Amino acid sequence: MTERAAVSPVPLIAGLYFYERGGVRQWPRFTLAEIPRSLEVNRWYRERLLVLAGDRESASLLEAQGLRVHRVFDDAPATVRRDAAHRMKHWMCLWALRSFGEFLWVDWDTVALCEPDAAFWSFCRSGRTPKFIHIPGYWATVNCGVYYACAEWASCMEDALAASGRPVERRAALALGAPGKGAGASRVLVGRARGERLDGSRDRPGDPGHLLRPRR
């Protein structure tokens, strides 16, 4: 076995949860529309992804797509459940970090150009810093649709989650890697800015849009 082949993969996680803000619970319609198409394009996701559910209803929706649910987070703290739109994904990632020591979160609207290989995992782990996908022209400097983090960042993630109000989002971004500190390029996974084309124009209704490649 070659040294390249011996590199162990990073646990891949993806999830579904209802978007609850201030006690108002919203149906995750965009994510539910993305999942079947994602599974059609990324056929290996069914076997490789550890699929996480925010509650039992989310788990049922995932199972209806033929997916095996690895864990249900109906035991999440009340503060997380009441603000699931901002905190549930963070809570799932923190669980993965505590359970596995590292993770790669994959949003459903990503496309794998190929299955991750030893070179990709080595890139993720390089420098022991978080890695984000960068999409030119996207509204945010980095996109958390695909990102890697390792155990060294657990305390920062815990501090960010414990913060209250709007600073949670800002501190979480800093904890998981500011621009120039782990915001890297990937030749494997591609993120799509919802509604955005590569040239910055908007999708027409019903148009699947173009896939935006990360910075080389």
What pLDDT score was predicted for residue 159?
Answer: 87
CA angle (85, 23, 72) in 5-degree steps: 55
Look at the chain and report how many structural domains it folds into. Answer: 1
> Domain for residue 56, yes or no?
yes
41 Cβ neighbours under 8 A, 6+ residues apart = 111, 112
Could you read off the pLDDT of 63-120 as tens digits, one per residue? Answer: 999 999 999 999 999 999 999 988 999 999 999 999 999 999 999 988 888 888 999 9
> Domain for residue 140, yes or no?
yes
Could you read off the pLDDT of 150-163 as tens digits, one per residue? Answer: 999 888 888 888 87
What pLDDT score was predicted for residue 111?
Answer: 85
87 Cβ neighbours under 8 A, 6+ residues apart = 79, 80, 161, 168
CB 87 within 8 A of CB 170: no
170 Cβ neighbours under 8 A, 6+ residues apart = none
> Domain for residue 171, yes or no?
yes
Query: How many CB atoms neighbour CB 87 within 10 A?
Result: 23
CATH code, domain with 161: 3.90.550
**Domain of residue 66, residue span:** 12-190
> Domain for residue 3, yes or no?
no
> Domain for residue 72, yes or no?
yes
